A and B are shown apart, each in its own frame.
Chain A
Amino acid sequence: MGYVIAGYLTTLVGLGAYALWLAQRAKSLRRDRVQ
């Protein structure tokens, strides 16, 4: 079951990290535009 968990975790962590980066980058750029 370890490989199955590793496969799911890799996908979730990878996509989650990218989604967070997108959200943070958009937030930062919007804040800069307001200033």
Chain B
Amino acid sequence: MSETRRSSSGRAPALLGWASLVLVGATVGLGLVLPKSAEQAEYSRLIAIHPPVAWVSYVAVVVAAIAAIACLLTRRASFDRLNIASLEVGAVFTALTLATGSIWSRPTWGVWWRWDPRLTTEALLLAVLVGAVALRRALPPGRGRAVVTSVFSLATLGLLPLVHFSVELWRSQHQRGTLLAPDPATNADSPYLGAMFLGFVAFTVLYSWMVVQRARIEALEEDADELMLGRAIAERRAEGLGPSDPAPGVA
């Protein structure tokens, strides 16, 4: 799994960071001034953040699964780092999807939580993502860890259709998809759609920045592990030789 790592101190991550800051700021600004809707009053303003955050959780799972397949096929450590980075960032976005959904459901459904198919499958997705990140931390670096992480990534990809189509498969109170299957009865008019699409772009750019940062941290941690291992081996060798022992190969 070892490979030469290039320094990733280019300007692209910084540009991504600044772009995400500006775009997320614009999304928040636009979202908070959206007009009140007839059905949900001011609560429709949450459309600028909740669906985009959920979208990114999907993107993260798909990217992690693609990286997992590439890692299994090529054994390249860079794909393993991309895999865990996307899983962890995906877990953050999935947790925020549940949190913002809960905040939205309180005034509209009257409860913070309901064992609704969409909410339950999303919570299951979060559990698997957190489990993958936690299990990886418990395993020693190497090929085995990369394979286990890849298997978890593919499992989360298997969960994704269940999460997305849960509103179609079972009776759910959650709103059905309004983009791929437009329903004239929904209130996704142009101002809401505009804010939501800006949110999709903003949070996707932010996700990209986070994944780049997280993958870089993974590389730095691997470097630190290798360095510590090298030092420990050198110390043990020094202890074994002792001050009076001759060096190997010296008569």
Contact = CB atoms under 8 A, between A and B. Distances in A.
Physical interaction between A and B: yes
B95 interface: yes
B213 A3 contact: no
Interface of A: 1, 3-4, 6-8, 10-12, 14-15, 18-19, 22-23, 25-26, 29-30, 32-33
Nearest to B214: A22
Query: Which 9 interchain pairs have the tightest Cβ spacing?
Result: A29-B220, A22-B213, A7-B103, A7-B46, A7-B100, A4-B45, A3-B107, A11-B49, A14-B96
Contacts of A15: 24, 92, 96, 206
A26 B17 CA distance: 14
17 contacts: A3-B46, A3-B106, A4-B43, A4-B46, A7-B49, A8-B28, A8-B31, A12-B24, A14-B92, A14-B99, A15-B206, A18-B92, A19-B206, A19-B213, A25-B217, A26-B217, A30-B220
Interface string B50-77: 1001000000000000000000000000
Interface in B24-47: 24, 28, 31-32, 42-43, 45-46
Contacts, number: 71
A33 B220 contact: yes
Contacts of B96: 10-11, 14-15
Contacts of B31: 8
A19 B32 CA distance: 23
Interface residues of B, number: 33
A14 B89 CA distance: 11
